[in-house]
Structure 1
Amino acid sequence: MRVPTLSRRAREACLRLRLWLRRAVGLPAPRIDYINGSDTLPPPLTREEETALLARFATGDTSVRNRLIEHNLRLVVYIARKYESTGIGLEDLISIGTIGLIKAIGSFQPSKGIKLATYASRCIENEILMYIRKNQNLRFDVSIDEPLNVDWDGNELLLSDILGTEGDVTSRGIEEREERELLHAAIARLGDRERKIMEFRFGMQGEEKTQKDVADLLGISQSYISRLEKKIISKLRKEIGKSL
């Protein structure tokens, strides 16, 4: 099966879906329901646990990345709630913030003497702010070498620190190709409306859309889209599990 070339935002959408895929293969991570769910978010890592995982990640052990992400999701939710008044749904803010967290984990350098939580907070917040500005149709031009902000330890944070190098993107693309194939195969087996919802929401064929955008396009309520989305992702997890 030929997998279409994905845009950068689509690749980031795949990263979000990979969190679900990782759970589907049985990694010891609880299912997360971000809002009003019965499950709770994983607790923060202790300093010793975080140091050990970062050391493994620095040596190329990518198997620990999912754990680093999931145990910092509380930070995403905390920051996302600060922007609820913007009119963007909290679930969408959390999804966008999670992209920032994923970028933070991938580009974090302990040797710079910055705490992961400090660095991740700025990455999460800047990802959300860029999304808000884009959706408000504001002009937003920025150099990748221009300081976005100064973190709590007084260190400048550059956009290039968040995005990583082109080599990083290429390497991740090769590593994730097999998982993308599983995702596309599972999505292809969905019904027409289910497939459209996932393609719109996660930008699988182009620009990703908010729940409200999808609801307007399909002529149904945003709350119904939210419920359908959760059911569809659950179905995808089962489909992917059968393929592994």
Structure 2
Amino acid sequence: MVRWDKWWLKVRWTVKLVFLSLLQKVGWRSEVHYVGSSEALPPPLSSDEEIFLLTRLETGDHAVKSVLIERNLRLVVYIARKFENTGVGIEDLVSIGSIGLIKAVNTFDVAKRIKLATYASRCIENEILMHLRRNNRNRVEVSFDEPLNVDWDGNELLLSDVLGTENDVIYKALEDEVDRDLLQAALLKLSPREKKIMELRFGLQGGEEKTQKEVADMLGIS
């Protein structure tokens, strides 16, 4: 029964993808209007469905990519809701997160044996964090340059004069957090050995930074 189910799944999805590819070739594009509407998000793929589609992802089939993106929109909404207290509307957050999902599907490497949801989650979150960082930087720059008052000599008193620091210090913490997230996402693309080299060389995971020679000696690299 299991073999029959998998065979039928393969046939069913093959037909669906062929049909979707034909529609795309004649200029048809599906429109998604889930956020802010009464439409329900499409259900996530089953494990067998995802495995089948991922085996065809490397062919560059746009129909496969479309299905993987649409069926993972629930993940985008889930992650976007974690940032609702940032002052950015949920629809905007979902739109930004969707860009991260598209990037994830376009760059996903099946050979790395990482779950698509794990990789996509990092891409979605990083896309939102980078957007928030850009917005935060713009707000900081405006507030820093805006005059607070005028001194006795008629000179404008700026916020930067009061704080006595550079703009970068204000949002450095957020910038560092985003950089860490980007680094973690990059590490997911490495093999275990490559990841270990990076962790030792740059002191990741709470360790001390090692020189290239120290790393080579520890791992037996000539």
Using the size of structure 1 for normalisation, the TM-score is 0.47
Deviation at 1:32, TM superposition (A): 2.8
Q: Secondary structure at the match of 1:95?
A: helix
Q: Indicate if the aligned counterparts of 2:73 and 2:98 stay in contact, CA closer than 8 A.
A: yes
Render the CA deviation track for 1:96-143: whole Å, top value 9, x for unaligned.
00000000001111211210001100110011011101100046878x
Q: Indicate if the aligned counterparts of 2:126 and 2:182 stay in contact, CA closer than 8 A.
A: no
Render the CA deviation track for 1:75-105: whole Å, top value 9, x for unaligned.
0001001101000111110110000000000
Amino acid at match of 2:68: L
> 5+ unaligned residues in a row in structure 1: which ranges?
1-20, 151-155, 162-244
Give the % identical residues.
Answer: 52
- Report the structure number with the largest CA radius of gyration: 2
Structure 2 partner of 1:87: 87
Structure 1 partner of 2:40: 40
C-alpha separation between the residues in 1 aligned to 2:111 and 2:33? 31
Instruction: Indicate yes or no: 2:51 matched with 1:51.
Output: yes
Q: Secondary structure at the match of 1:83?
A: helix
Q: Indicate if the aligned counterparts of 1:97 and 1:127 stay in contact, CA closer than 8 A.
A: yes
Instruction: Indicate yes or no: 2:118 matched with 1:118.
Output: yes
Deviation at 1:31, TM superposition (A): 4.0
Q: Indicate if the aligned counterparts of 2:133 and 2:175 stay in contact, CA closer than 8 A.
A: no
Amino acid at match of 1:40: A
Q: Secondary structure at the match of 2:185?
A: strand
> 5+ unaligned residues in a row in structure 2: which ranges?
1-22, 138-170, 190-222
Alignment of 1:141-180 (within 5 A): 148=181, 156-158=184-186
C-alpha separation between the residues in 1 aligned to 2:186 and 2:51? 23
C-alpha separation between the residues in 1 aligned to 2:63 and 2:130? 29
Amino acid at match of 1:33: Y
Deviation at 1:160, TM superposition (A): 10
C-alpha separation between the residues in 2 aligned to 1:66 and 1:74? 14
Q: Indicate if the aligned counterparts of 1:32 and 1:41 stay in contact, CA closer than 8 A.
A: no
Instruction: Indicate yes or no: 2:163 matched with 1:135.
Output: no
Aligned residues: 130
Deviation at 1:157, TM superposition (A): 2.0
Amino acid at match of 1:98: S
- Cα RMSD after superposing both structures: 2.9
Deviation at 1:70, TM superposition (A): 0.4
1 or 2 for the larger relative contact order (CA 8 Å, sep ≥6)?
A: 1
C-alpha separation between the residues in 2 aligned to 1:101 and 1:44? 14
C-alpha separation between the residues in 1 aligned to 2:114 and 2:187? 16
Using the size of structure 2 for normalisation, the TM-score is 0.51
C-alpha separation between the residues in 2 aligned to 1:78 and 1:129? 15
C-alpha separation between the residues in 2 aligned to 1:122 and 1:64? 21
Render the CA deviation track for 1:179-225: whole Å, top value 9, x for unaligned.
xxxxxxxxxxxxxxxxxxxxxxxxxxxxxxxxxxxxxxxxxxxxxxx
